[in-house]
C-alpha cells in the first residue's frame, strides 16, 4: 500500500486523487464539506466498498473531520462553538451504535509527560465520569444518567504493556457497550497540528502515523464498537520537507526558473527519497510547533466539553 503518512481520511483521499490525477472521487468514496462558520469546517468521508478501502487504506466506515482555524489564539466563544460541533457529530455517531443509557468507556491514549502526546490523558482528567456514582450513590444521580467511565492506560514505552492488552482486561471486567478512544495522530501538514479532530467509527491503530505501529483497537480486537477521536499533534520532518519542496518548486515555476526535471520532481511524491536521505544522518525528526503547549490546552477544552455534552 501507498505510504500516506497521515491518519486523516480526507488527506488520504486528496493524496490518492492527486497521485492518480483524478478529477473526482473513486466509486466507494463519498465526500461532503460543510463550513460551520468562518473558522470551523466539517468534512465527511464515507468509504462504502472494499476497493475504496483498499485504495486509501482506511476501513469501510464514516470519517468526520472538524477543522478549527487559528486555534492557538482561540477565545472562549470559539472553543465553545467548536465543542458544540463535536458534540453534534459525536452524538449522531453514538446514536448508530448504542442506546441512550448504554455504558461507555472513554480512553485517552498517550503520555502525560510529553507535551504533544499529552492530549489524551489531559482530556480524561476532565471527563464527567458517572459509573461509580450510579453504583455507589444512586440517590444523587438522575435515573437517566448514562454510566461513563474513563481511563488513561499510558504508553508501551512507560508501561511495558500493549494498550490493547490493558484495555481488553478492563473491558472484560467492566463490560461497557462502546469505547471512545482519543489519540494523537500524525498529519501531513503543520497547520493541522492540534487544530483538526477526526471522528471515525472504525477503530484505531495507535502510533500508526509515526511508523511505530501498535496493536489495533477496534471492534475486531475489543469485541465492542470503537469510536476513534484522533487529533494530529506531530509531523515528520521528511513530510514537511516534501511538502515544502512542492511549494518551493511552484515558486521557481512561477518565476520561470524551473526545468523539466524539477517539474517532474514536483509531480512525483519524493517522501521516500527524502526520508532515505535524511535517515542515515539522523535528521528525520518528529517535530511539533513551538506553541504546542497552548495548542494542546485549547484542543483539550474542545474535546473534553464536546464529549461531556454528547454523553
By CB under 8 A, residue 277 contacts a copy of itself: yes
The minimum distance between CB 135 and a copy of itself, in angstroms, equals 9
Instruction: Give the residue with the Cβ less far from a copy of itself, 218 or 288.
Output: 288
Instruction: Give the residue with the Cβ less far from a copy of itself, 127 or 200.
Output: 127
Contact 66, 196 (CB under 8 A): yes
Q: Which of 99, 159, 212, 221 binds a copy of itself (CB under 8 A)?
A: 159
- Residue 303 CB-half CA count within 13 A: 35
Q: How many residues does the chain have?
A: 311
How far CA 188 is from CA of 48, 70, 97, 273, 288, in Å, comes to: 24, 17, 31, 16, 12
Residue 278: which residues within 8 A CB-CB, separation 6 or more? Answer: 237, 238, 241, 284
Q: Which stretch binds a copy of itself (CB under 8 A): 18-26, 94-102, 121-129, 200-208?
A: 121-129
By CB under 8 A, residue 35 contacts a copy of itself: no
Enumerate residues 44-73 that contact a copy of itself by CB under 8 A. none
Contact 107, 153 (CB under 8 A): yes
C-alpha–C-alpha distance, residues 207 and 184, integer Å:
8
Q: Which of 86, 124, 179, 199 binds a copy of itself (CB under 8 A)?
A: 124
By CB under 8 A, residue 173 contacts a copy of itself: yes
Strand order in the sheet with 29-35: 29-35, 40-47, 61-68, 196-200, 226-236, 178-186, 104-108, 148-151
The minimum distance between CB 284 and a copy of itself, in angstroms, equals 9
Q: Which of 14, 289, 308, 309 binds a copy of itself (CB under 8 A)?
A: 289
Q: Which of 146, 168, 177, 215 binds a copy of itself (CB under 8 A)?
A: 168
Pull the grid cell for residue 72: 492557538
Enumerate residues 203-232 that contact a copy of itself by CB under 8 A. none
Q: Which of 61, 177, 262, 308 binds a copy of itself (CB under 8 A)?
A: 262
* Residue 176 φ then ψ, to 5°: -75, 165
By CB under 8 A, residue 18 contacts a copy of itself: no
Euclidean distance between the first and the last CA atom of the chain, given in angstroms as a whole number: 37
Q: Which stretch binds a copy of itself (CB under 8 A): 27-35, 46-54, 149-157, 220-228?
A: 149-157
Q: Which of 37, 99, 158, 221 binds a copy of itself (CB under 8 A)?
A: 158
Contact 198, 57 (CB under 8 A): no
Instruction: Give the residue with the Cβ less far from a copy of itself, 148 or 303.
Output: 148
Q: Which of 251, 263, 267, 268 binds a copy of itself (CB under 8 A)?
A: 251
By CB under 8 A, residue 281 contacts a copy of itself: yes
Amino acid at each position: 500500500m501507498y505510504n500516506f503518512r497521515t491518519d486523516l481520511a480526507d488527506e488520504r483521499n486528496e493524496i490518492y486523487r492527486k497521485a492518480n490525477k483524478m478529477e473526482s472521487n473513486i466509486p466507494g468514496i463519498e465526500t461532503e464539506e460543510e463550513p460551520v462558520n468562518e473558522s470551523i469546517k466539517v468534512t465527511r468521508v464515507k468509504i462504502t466498498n472494499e476497493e475504496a478501502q483498499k485504495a486509501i487504506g482506511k476501513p469501510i466506515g464514516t470519517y468526520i473531520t472538524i477543522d478549527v482555524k487559528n486555534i492557538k489564539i482561540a477565545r472562549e466563544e470559539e472553543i465553545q462553538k467548536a465543542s458544540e460541533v463535536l458534540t453534534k457529530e459525536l452524538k449522531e455517531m453514538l446514536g448508530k451504535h448504542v442506546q441512550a443509557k448504554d455504558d461507555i468507556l472513554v480512553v485517552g491514549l498517550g503520555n502525560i509527560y510529553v507535551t504533544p502526546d499529552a492530549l489524551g490523558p489531559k482530556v480524561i482528567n476532565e471527563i464527567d465520569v458517572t459509573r461509580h456514582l450510579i453504583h455507589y450513590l444512586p440517590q444523587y444521580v438522575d435515573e437517566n444518567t448514562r454510566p461513563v467511565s474513563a481511563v488513561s492506560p499510558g504508553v508501551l514505552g512507560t508501561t511495558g504493556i500493549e494498550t490493547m492488552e490493558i484495555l481488553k482486561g478492563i473491558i472484560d471486567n467492566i463490560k461497557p457497550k462502546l469505547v471512545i478512544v482519543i489519540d494523537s495522530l500524525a498529519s501531513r501538514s503543520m497547520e493541522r497540528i492540534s487544530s483538526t479532530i477526526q471522528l471515525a467509527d472504525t477503530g484505531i491503530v495507535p502510533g500508526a502515523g509515526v511508523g511505530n505501529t501498535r496493536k489495533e483497537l477496534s471492534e475486531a480486537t475489543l469485541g465492542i464498537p470503537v469510536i476513534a477521536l484522533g487529533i494530529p499533534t506531530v509531523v515528520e520532518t521528511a513530510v514537511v520537507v516534501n511538502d515544502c519542496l512542492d511549494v518551493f518548486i511552484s515558486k521557481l515555476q512561477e518565476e520561470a526558473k524551473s526545468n523539466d526535471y524539477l517539474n517532474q520532481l514536483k509531480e512525483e511524491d519524493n517522501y521516500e527519497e527524502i526520508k532515505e536521505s535524511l535517515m542515515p544522518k539522523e535528521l528525520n525528526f518528529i517535530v511539533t510547533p513551538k506553541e504546542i503547549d497552548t495548542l494542546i490546552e485549547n484542543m483539550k477544552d474542545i474535546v473534553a466539553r464536546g464529549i461531556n455534552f454528547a454523553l
